[in-house]
Amino acid sequence: MLIRFIILTSIIICFINNTYSQQKVVPPPETERSSSTAESIKYFARFEIGAAYGITSVGSTEEVEGFTLPVEFQIGIGITDNAFIHALVGANVITNPTNVNTETEAPYTVCMWNFGGGLTVYAIPKMVYASASVTGSSTVRYLDTWDNTVDTDTYNSKLGVGFELKAGANVMIGGFLPVGMTAFYYTSSMNDMEEEFENAAKIKNNVVGITLTIGIANL
């Protein structure tokens, strides 16, 4: 009788254990998994526009300076909690350049085009950041007067290299809209497209200024 009881009890225990082991694990809903993945991706997209002062020199014979309008768009993706790699495209435009030597207004507008990328680091998460960028740069000078004897109204440089350093701060509005201000320094160097005696003049640009920033982000 005891042996039958032990055998019956063992069968019941095995049946219960087998039933629980075969229960399916129900995964979380697809929407919950998607939202969790999205929240883990850090990113930002930022538009900047402001005011600056720029100087452009062409060789040793020509140097102009004046009020500069900086415009730039950056997009970045997080590689750690507070560090992002970013890409950028933008321009610095000297709207009314003045010849340094003669103190007369230059007959053209200087535009420094830039594209490239770099690293952005938030020293204080979601608030204070610094960035460094390396750019491909070109300087284009748009003539302000039209001459029928001239075939084109622009002349420009070969592609060169530029560097940009920034320090900024922003506040998050609604948790996803960063609004703030950035101070920056930009420098670039390249050869003039027009060659004289097969020796191209060196073009150098330097700009310092501030910009207002707005964008969207998950920081």
Q: What is the pLDDT of residues 4-38, one digit of tens each?
A: 555 555 566 655 556 555 555 555 565 555 455 44
Q: What angle do CA 163, 168, 174 make, to 5 degrees?
A: 130
Q: Give pLDDT, residue 14.
A: 58
Q: Cα–Cα distance between 120 and 83 in angstroms, integer?
A: 6
- Tell whether the model's pLDDT for residue 114 goes beyond 90: yes
| Closest CA relative to residue 182, chosen from 42, 79, 70 | 70
Pair 145, 109: CB distance under 8 Å: no
Q: According to DSSP H, which parts of the chain are helical?
A: 2-21, 30-40
Q: Which of 77-91, 140-154, 182-196 has the highest mean pLDDT?
A: 77-91
132's tokens:
């460094």
Mean pLDDT of 127-137: 97
Beta pairing partners, 20: none
Grade residue 107 by pLDDT with cuts at 50, 70 and 90.
confident
Other C-beta atoms closer than 10 Å to the C-beta of 148 total 5
CATH class of residue range 41-218: mainly beta
pTM, 2 dp: 0.77
152's tokens:
């084109």
Q: Cα–Cα distance between 168 and 211 in angstroms, integer?
A: 9
Q: Cα–Cα distance between 88 and 188 in angstroms, integer?
A: 15
Pair 48, 86: CB distance under 8 Å: no
Beta pairing partners, 18: none
Mean pLDDT of 39-56: 94
Query: Would you kindly state where each structural domain of the chain is located, as residue ranges?
Result: 41-218
